[in-house]
Amino acid sequence: MSPASKYFQDVEQYRKDMLIKTELCGELMQFSTTWGLFSPRAIDEGSKLMLQYIKVNENDNCLDIGCGYGPLGLTLAKLAPNGKTTLIDKDFVAVNYTEKNIQLNRLSNCETFLSNGLDQVGSRQFNLIVSNIPAKVGNELLSLFLIDAWKHLEPGGRFYVVTITGIRKYIERSFKEVFGNYKKIKQGKTYTVAMTIKQ
């Protein structure tokens, strides 16, 4: 066998789906993932930190912006069984894996679809919006996220974000400008969880 043949055999394993089995907010969850998606081998620390501090009502209608393979949104769907959870991402691979994971976790109160920010959300309104905001998304897209989140939140609705700690001041300033309020929920060395309320 040539060295190249061995390389091809070794690399073929990367095409196989990976399976994460974990407990989030007291719920047993499973996630099928693949290379190319964010944090494919384990739930990322930012998402886990947010889920430790988020408050969810059982009838909340929830939105997960940039859902990846679904760890935040599908956990919210479990915690809000009497509401509807929408998971959106601009990456078709992420949406495909979220669809798989909706089935894997036997959830019937979810929907997922492609959307660049919230541009495909239509007239849907939410009580709770979450986002694990990528570090390099850019201020322009972040601004659109904030304005569109405000438009799609019901009065009294909450918007939680987890970001790298380096942009927490930008988030604080932007939350205050758009929503008029800001609350730091938890600040760690790497990530900060913050929230705002539509008043």
In tens, the pLDDT along 78-106 reads 999 999 999 999 999 999 999 999 999 99
What is the rounded distance in angstroms from the CA atom of residue 152 to the CA atom of residue 150?
6
What is the pTM assigned to this prediction? 0.94
Closest CA to 30 of 97, 130, 108: 97
CATH number of the domain encompassing residue 49: 3.40.50.150
Residue 1 has pLDDT above 70, yes or no: no
Return the pLDDT at 3.
Answer: 66
What is the rounded distance in angstroms from the CA atom of residue 24 to the CA atom of residue 16?
24
Determine, yes or no, domain membership for 140: yes
Rounded to whole angstroms, what are the CA distances from 169 to 65, 83, 164, 172, 188? 21, 32, 11, 5, 14
Enumerate residues 6+ apart whose C-beta is below 8 A from 146: 174, 175, 178, 179
Return the pLDDT at 96.
Answer: 98
Return the pLDDT at 184.
Answer: 97
The residue type found at 189 is K
- Across the beta sheet with 153-164, the strand order is 110-114, 85-89, 62-65, 126-132, 153-164, 191-197, 183-187
Between 49 and 189, the more confident residue is 49
Q: Residue 120: which domain range?
A: 13-197
| Number of domains the chain is built from | 1
Residue 185 has pLDDT above 90, yes or no: yes
